[in-house]
Amino acid sequence: MANNVLNKELGPIVQKTMADVVEIRLREYLKEKSFKPGDPLPKELEIAQSLGVSRNVVREALSRLRMLGMVETKKKRGMVLSRPDILSSFERVLDPLIIGESTLQDIFEIRLTLEVGLADLLYLRKTKKDVEELEQIARNQKVTSGRQTFRIKNEIAFHGKIYQMTGNETLQRFQNMLLPVFGYLVSLEKVPIIGKVSHLDLVEILKHGSKEEFRQGMLQHLEHHFAKLK
């Protein structure tokens, strides 16, 4: 069975550790057998014997699944499959200092894409209270503008609030994770660029304008970012 792992197309050879191999094999096994959250896993020793590897290696592989939130240990029941938090491992690696220039750029473009695309969810779910809070953030911004660190903080607060207003928790958490990346990119700008459409303008549209007007407003607000693409 472990041969499955080896029978891939001819690509660059990446040396796998035993823990890599066992981890992959375990995930395949859980998938093949259609394990669902709550289902009990075989014991460490059983896995080691059936794969013909040491218990230490199995422990290492299980520890990885535990980190991903795919496995948890229950009192008296032992290890069971659990519902992973799909973003937690993503969060672990998203550090602008280590992910590299081209991925940073990709992520920035994904942010632009999401902000232009989210008008539909926003208009479906925004409340009067949300819009008032957003307006408050936009007003604070005017007062404190000038200092770079304040500016980034407010920029993040404003756009973060918009994501929250979409009512999509995964989207909101995804955005929260991307914040260090945006903060990093904004900090590289020497001169703060203010778009033709300001945060307060966007709030006005949310109050009295249509979904399409909001989308066009957001496009203009982000115009200087789009202008730099490619």
In whole angstroms, the minimum distance from the beta carbon of 124 to its own copies comes to 5
**For residue 172, what are its two tokens?**
């909101």
Total Cβ atoms within 10 A of residue 178: 20
Q: Which is nearer to its own copies, 154 or 166 (CB)?
A: 166
Q: Which is nearer to its own copies, 143 or 188 (CB)?
A: 188
Total Cβ atoms within 10 A of residue 19: 18
Of 182, 44, 38, 40, residue with least CA distance to 111 = 182
Pick from 2, 169, 189, 224: which binds its own copies (CB under 8 A)? Answer: 169
Residues 4-33 that bind its own copies (CB under 8 A): 17, 19-20, 23, 27, 31
Tokens 């490619």 correspond to 230
Q: Which is nearer to its own copies, 61 or 154 (CB)?
A: 61
Residues 104-163 that bind its own copies (CB under 8 A): 106-107, 109-110, 112-121, 124-125
Tokens 């007007």 correspond to 213
Q: Which is nearer to its own copies, 93 or 143 (CB)?
A: 93
Binding-site size for its own copies (CB under 8 A) equals 66
Q: Which is nearer to its own copies, 89 or 140 (CB)?
A: 89
In whole angstroms, the minimum distance from the beta carbon of 97 to its own copies comes to 6
- SS3 assignment, position 191: coil
Binding piece for its own copies, criterion CB under 8 A, among 40-48, 138-146, 195-203, 222-230? 222-230
- Helices and strands of the chain, counted as H and E runs: 13, 2
Backbone angles phi, psi at 13, to 5 degrees: -80, 120
Residues 54-73 that bind its own copies (CB under 8 A): 56, 59-60, 63-64, 66-70
Residues 6+ away with beta carbon under 8 Å from 126: 165, 206
How big is the chain, counted in residues?
230
Tokens 């937690």 correspond to 88
3-state percent breakdown (helix, strand, coil) of the chain, nearest 5: 65, 5, 30
Provide the binding-site residues for its own copies, judged by CB under 8 A.
17, 19-20, 23, 27, 31, 34-37, 56, 59-60, 63-64, 66-70, 81, 83-87, 89-90, 92-95, 97-100, 102-103, 106-107, 109-110, 112-121, 124-125, 166-171, 174, 215, 219, 226, 229-230
